[in-house]
Structure 1
Amino acid sequence: MDFLGLMLVGILVGLTTVLFGFGGGFVAVPIITLVDADLGSDTARVAAATSALVMLVNAIIATVSTKRETLSHLRGRWWLLILLAIGGMLGAFGGRFAPEAFLQWGFVVYIAITAVDLLARPGFFRPGSRVKEGVGEGGRGISAAWGVPIGGLASFLGVGGSVMTVPMMRRSGATMTVATTLANPLTLVIMSPAVLVTITAPASIGAPGIVGSLDLYSAAALLVGAIPVIVVLRRRVPKIPELVHAWGYFILLITAGVVVALA
């Protein structure tokens, strides 16, 4: 895929960042998996690392552009943020040594389990019994105890934290808009140490445009397409009905898993 083609995909990355809080992970991983398929056993590692870089930059832009009243839902959640960062660092470090097949199929299995969970348990598409009356649009939040597991899995597979944080915030009573918006600052916290681990790792893949485990050429093209979309849409977030928003999240989740499985 040429630079222009990756830029067009970057527009989709920007849309998913704003609308679903994915930060690009569920688009970037499948696309990089296809683009760098000729790297063989290193493909999944490069896809995860490059996705982490794309998500980090997108999360920074999206967070800076987010309304302060929305970000206020994270006020006082320092332990959660600290543990997410620790998990992100540990997951990225572990990803350096994991077999390629484990990373690829781990991504697919992770998405499959999440999809089944979203359909089987109440609270994502329909109100759950634990969502009490009087809970604000930000819900009750995520327990800090989940920080390391969320951060570790997100950076290990390069998917970002939204696949866990969005459903968890939904079940705590948050609206889709708030849950997907807050997924960006949470992704920022996870991916900052993850990218640091990645770029300081010794270069091991000899291919044009690859630095360490990062495909900088593809990352640059995706970001050129994504950043303008994020800046424009984050200031004027589209109004989407809750149920449509939730099903859109689910469909994109399944699509990403299928693409990686087939690649």
Structure 2
Amino acid sequence: MIEGMTLAARKAGYSLSIYSTTPDDDPVESVQRQLQARSTDGLIITRLVSGDPRVKLLLDQGMPFVAFGRTDLDTAYPYVDVDNEQIAYEATRRLMDKGCRRIALQLLVPEDQASAMRLSGYARAMAEAGIPIDQSLIGHGMFTMESSAAWFDRLLACSDPPTGLACANELGLLGALHALGKRGLAPGSDVHIVTRDSTRLARFLPAKIEVHSVDMAAVGRKLVEVLESRIINPLGPVETILLKGEFEPAE
């Protein structure tokens, strides 16, 4: 995504500066520093949370910006997002088509709006199939490889383990595969997996995994395009773009 943003910004005559924060940092303070420095033409904000205060702050200050992601505010604001709700819905339905009824779901931290959308899609698919949600099958976390492996191994050790898994990302996938391997279980037969994979990593793994891929370089380009239009015309139409994941069946 950063590569896509960098190339698009360069093409439009801008330079891209990256200001990263740790989970312990206050992201509002980072935005406030940029506003006080008055050294930027516009901002791209990421990792939106519920009621994200950065959106209201930037709207109030009149700073051109675009969000990568959405938040639950009534005010219109420009964003580019991936349709995580539909991706999770389709993943859950495809696992059901494989005969899975015990379906585990990986989510990031609960405050992350992308996780809220994934949970909504999963819940919709489960409700349509008349399958009650078992909260023990829903995992929240940053899902490094280690934490994913530990979480999924605990589920596999249960008396009624999952037969399907909707992975949050590639790191979560690798951890889950490690847990399966330790127990001598095979993805695609013992446990079916559908994952979101923005790096196309899954296609190089010797395992039957179904994938929703997203072209993150294209996301980065689109973010810069929307931001450039806000810089040029701050009072113009508010663009909102929702990008779909492309499904790739297991080979």
Larger Rg computed on CA atoms: 2
**Which TM-score applies when normalising by structure 2?**
0.30
Q: Which has the higher strand share?
A: 2
Q: Which has the higher helix share?
A: 1
Asked which structure has the greater RCO (Cα within 8 Å, sep 6+), the reply is 1
